[in-house]
Structure 1
Amino acid sequence: MNEIVLMGIDMDREAIEKQLDACILTPDEMHMDWSKLSNPLPWAEI
């Protein structure tokens, strides 16, 4: 499990949660062949 902490004044918690939830991969995306995707950070390859 990961946790992220955001601190600020007058932050819209619902909007932030909605945007973060939209980043979560679907089960289909988790099981796809990622080797076919282009690497947006080629300098960061392991």
Structure 2
Amino acid sequence: MLEKHRSLRGTLTSKIKESVFAVFGKNILPPINTKASALEISR
């Protein structure tokens, strides 16, 4: 059950990411390094 939940969450996350980049484009939204500090991300 937990594995199915993780799979659904991953699928939903991927769809959201695709939609955001489709609307705003990759030039406007640079990728964020998930290991970056909060200060680096806010810049």
TM-score category of the 2 structures, normalised to the smaller one? 0.3 to 0.5
Higher relative contact order (CA 8 A, sep 6+): 2
Structure (1/2) with the larger helix percentage:
2
- What's the TM-score, normalizing by structure 1? 0.37
- What's the TM-score, normalizing by structure 2? 0.38
